Amino acid sequence: MKIKLPILFLTVFLFTSQLKAQFDFYAGYQGIADDNIYSNYLQISDFINTLSLGSAYNIESDLNNVQVYYEGSLNSFQKNAIKTFNAHKIGLVETHLFSPDENPLNAGINFSFRNNKDDFKIYDFNQLSLYANFRYSVSETDFIIPGYIFRRNNYKNFSLFSHNEHKFFLNWISSFESGTSIMLNAEYNFKKYFESYNYEGYLNETSQIKFMTKLSQALGEKTGINGYVTLRKNLSDGSRYLLYDTLIYYEEEIFNDIYSSDGLETGIGFKHYLSDDIELSADVKYFIRKYSSLNAMDLNSYELNELRKDKIFGIGAEVTYDLNKVLAGLSISAHYSYLTSKSNDYFYEYNNQMFSVSLIFDF
């Protein structure tokens, strides 16, 4: 006999009492000025209006919390209307404490989909995701988080790119009296495509490992900095691509596939509270992407005799103003980012600036 996953989550409450229920809702608007919406040498600019809505219903007890939620957004492009799309996600998550205030187990399931417009409808997709992680306290200042994530990505118009993905990870986090904390992360990712083809150098499955170290330091009660280094390494050679007429469309170029490249990413972040209501943050990032099976190309789509390699540098800054004193649940933020990409593939030699203003209302 099969038992549905949501029922398994809810049966936890047969052993608890004093349940509490709460309904949460948020609405938001974001206006984005983007001077390079395709992230390539064409430098096509646009203004994007984004409306977002979300709701959650929480059922709580002393040791358990079940949440059913919905998130949705409409993203409208003013000049390039064909890029307009809407996205939706519905989900269920259970958090269980094995003892008060420590060692939580999280498990969840969600389904998301994206609807595009006109010529971009060929990129429509849906995703089913299941996940579980457990935070275990080794001591008062050290804990580990093992976890697993499963994703089923279905591209109905690009079925040869549809796949199942498995992600296994382990985090170690330690904190010290000096205000320093360190996180170590190890991750193994594996992807297997629905359709298999017996072509030389054509991937039917692929895998990748990732390691990350993040160091954070408090500089008083209102200021903090952090830095991180991430290393990705592919464990498979080959590529996945679509042949159409005389052209080749690689998965990385269509869906920005993380498995097509490996390399190094590093960054520094800063956060400071100017007051109880105003938060300022900034970051600097640099990363290198090395493609193991994707040749660089010139602007006429002719392959060059070298593998593609990108070097990307970016900066960003954001200020958030909590307007709770004006209206409970209201906040406004402004964000600026600049990114420059240097590549031996001329199509990906570009700069990109974005400025956005967001208004969020939680109630």
Q: Residue 101's pLDDT is what?
A: 67
Q: Render pLDDT for 116-174 as a digit per residue (tens, 0 to 9).
A: 998 899 899 999 999 999 999 999 899 999 999 999 999 999 999 999 999 999 999 99
pLDDT at 2: 45
**Of 18-27, 144-153, 311-320, which range is least confident?**
18-27
Per residue in 188-212, is it b (16+ CB within 10 Å) or e — as a string? ebbbebeeeeeeeeebbebebebeb
Q: Which residues on adjacent β-strands are paired with residue 139?
A: none
User: What is the pLDDT at residue 229?
Assistant: 99
Question: Is the model more confident about 278 or about 98?
Answer: 278
Per-residue model confidence (pLDDT) at position 18: 61
User: Average of pLDDT values for 78-103?
Assistant: 92
List Cβ<8 Å contacts ≥24 apart for 270-277: 270/223, 270/224, 270/225, 271/223, 271/224, 271/225, 272/222, 272/223, 272/224, 273/222, 273/223, 276/322, 277/321, 277/322, 277/323, 277/324, 277/325
**Band of residue 12 on the pLDDT scale cut at 50, 70, 90:** very low
pLDDT tens profile 266-307: 999 999 999 999 999 999 999 999 998 889 999 888 889 999
pLDDT at 316: 99
What is the CATH code of the structural domain delimited by 22-46+103-362? 2.40.160
Question: Where do the domains of the chain lie?
Answer: 22-46+103-362
Question: pLDDT: is 98 or 85 the higher one?
Answer: 85
Rounded to the nearest integer, the mean pLDDT of the chain is 92
Q: What are phi and psi of 97, to 5 degrees?
A: -100, 125
Structure tokens at 6: 């949501």
Are 235 and 209 spatial neighbours (Cβ–Cβ below 8 Å)?
yes
Q: What is the DSSP string of 220-285?
A: SSSEEEEEEEEEEEE----B-EEEETTEEEEHHHHH--GGGEEEEEEEEEEEEESSSSEEEEEEEE
Residue 33 confidence (pLDDT) above 90: yes
Model pLDDT, residue 244 = 79
Nearest to 352 by CA among 33, 39, 31: 39
What is residue 245's predicted lDDT score, i.e. its pLDDT?
77
Per-residue pLDDT tens digits for 202-261 = 999 999 999 999 999 999 999 999 999 999 999 998 889 888 777 788 888 888 888 999
Q: Which residues pair with 91 in a beta bridge?
A: 69, 110
Helix (H, G, I), strand (E, B) or coil at 343: strand
